[in-house]
Amino acid sequence: MSREALIGPVRRTDRWTVPPVAVREAIINAIVHADYAERGSPIRVAVFNDRIEVENPGLLPLGLTIDDIRKGVSKSQEPGDRPRVSRVGSHRAMG
């Protein structure tokens, strides 16, 4: 009895652990919702093996809690955000 090895086509597929569209959305949200009155507090992006953290200066809008965010509730601090977001090119960043 003999044995043979069959080698098929070799193909590499790269897949990000965090979808690039989610990273883009997080960065756009950080830019749109940053409190630019706080000087010296930059937007920070930290990349780890298992996650990406995006931080921006400022507080949550009045009346919004972390628990609300976990439930999907959103509230804009600035009613004038919409034109800025349109220029950035993502209407989904409004939340």
What are the backbone dihedrals phi and psi of residue 44, each rounded to the nearest 5 degrees, phi first?
-120, 140
Q: Residue 93 class from Cβ within 10 Å (0-12 exposed, 13-18 middle, 19+ buried)?
A: buried
Q: Are 55 and 30 in contact (CB under 8 A)?
A: yes
Q: Are 56 and 43 in contact (CB under 8 A)?
A: yes
- pLDDT tens per residue, range 59-86: 777 888 889 888 988 776 665 555 555 5
More confident residue, 93 or 46: 46
Considering only CA atoms, which of 25, 26, 39, 35 is closest in space to residue 76?
Answer: 35
In the chain, beta strands by DSSP E: 44-47, 52-55
- pLDDT tens per residue, range 24-39: 999 998 888 787 887 7
